[in-house]
């Protein structure tokens, strides 16, 4: 068995004295592990860092075997990204989210979105926007997508400002006003899911994470006996620091 694919490093763990087991999210073969001989050595260590893009050749005698990787780096982002606290936490959180996908099951849209995020992760507010949208995309990919396109009560597509925590559907301002204390806020940058929409302030970002966090926890993580990772909490705290400094000034 052999295939060639592009991928993003999600994580590695040492295997024996000099090798490493590497976990990739690949475009055509999904989340896939393989053994890299010499992967723990100084030559390969900079390449096998989370967030780096690589070309990979996977070989095994049978498809169900772990197999081995021959890996060549194509975009080595980690050295720059890991110097930033929000990026370091963000890469770890994105990898944890990706591990919710079934192993060896292709998810082209998720792969493309992950690569786009990693290429545009410098600014904390923009990074936060990308991560909220990625969490929404993961909910959809796992079968728990939210309907933010029209009001659950009236069907209108205008003035959507709330989300029902029960149904995951949007609610208009007029329909939701009597129950506003029980509803989640729908931040304006998520009313239109195109990438051009950006949050205007930190409150919108916080509302976005509260929204996705509730549904991820209830529908995906808790049924698996899991909770939100420390990396997610660290990322949210890290992106809040620049806003706190600006507010103090």
Provide Rg for the chain, Cα atoms.
Answer: 20
Please state the CATH superfamily assignment of the domain spanning residues 84-248 in this structure: Recombination protein O, C-terminal domain (1.20.1440.120)
Q: Give pTM, 2 decimals.
A: 0.92
Residue 248 pLDDT: 41
Q: Is 68 helix (H, G, I), strand (E, B) or coil?
A: strand
The domain locations on the chain are 2-76, 84-248
Show pLDDT as tens, one digit a residue, over the chain (249 residues): 999 999 999 999 999 999 999 999 999 999 999 999 999 999 999 999 999 999 999 999 999 999 999 999 999 998 888 889 999 999 999 999 999 999 999 999 999 999 999 999 999 989 999 999 999 999 999 999 999 999 999 999 999 999 999 999 999 999 999 999 999 999 988 986 555 566 667 789 999 999 999 999 999 999 999 999 999 999 999 998 755 543 444
Given this structure, which CATH class describes domain 2-76? Answer: mainly beta
Q: State the pairing for strand pair 169-172/147-151.
A: parallel
Q: Which of 137, 187, 131 is nearest to 162 (CA)?
A: 187
Residue 77 pLDDT: 93
The 3-class secondary structure across 131-171, one letter per residue, is: HHHHHHHHHHHCCCCCEEEEECCCCCCCCEEEECCCCCEEE
């Amino acid at each position: 068995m052999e295939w060639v694919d592009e991928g993003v490093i999600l994580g590695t763990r040492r295997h024996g004295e000099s090798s490493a087991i590497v976990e990739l999210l690949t475009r055509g073969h999904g989340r896939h592990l393989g053994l890299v001989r010499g992967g723990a050595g100084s030559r390969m260590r900079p390449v096998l860092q989370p967030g780096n893009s690589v070309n990979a050749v996977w070989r095994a005698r049978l498809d169900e075997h772990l197999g081995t990787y021959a890996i060549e780096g194509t975009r080595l982002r980690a050295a720059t990204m890991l110097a930033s606290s929000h990026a370091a936490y963000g890469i770890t959180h994105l990898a944890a989210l990706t591990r919710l996908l079934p192993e060896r099951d292709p998810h082209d849209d998720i792969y493309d979105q992950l690569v786009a995020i990693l290429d545009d992760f410098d600014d904390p507010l923009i990074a936060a926007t990308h991560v909220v949208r990625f969490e929404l995309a993961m909910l959809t990919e796992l079968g728990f997508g939210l309907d933010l396109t029209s009001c659950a009560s009236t069907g209108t597509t205008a003035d959507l400002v709330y989300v029902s925590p029960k149904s995951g559907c949007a609610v208009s301002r007029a329909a939701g006003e009597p129950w506003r204390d029980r509803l989640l806020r729908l931040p304006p940058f998520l009313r239109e899911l195109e990438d051009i929409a950006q949050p205007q302030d930190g409150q919108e970002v916080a509302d976005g994470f509260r929204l996705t966090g509730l549904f991820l926890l209830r529908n995906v993580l808790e049924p698996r006996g899991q909770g939100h990772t420390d990396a997610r909490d660290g990322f949210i705290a890290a992106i809040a620091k620049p806003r706190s400094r600006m507010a103090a000034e």
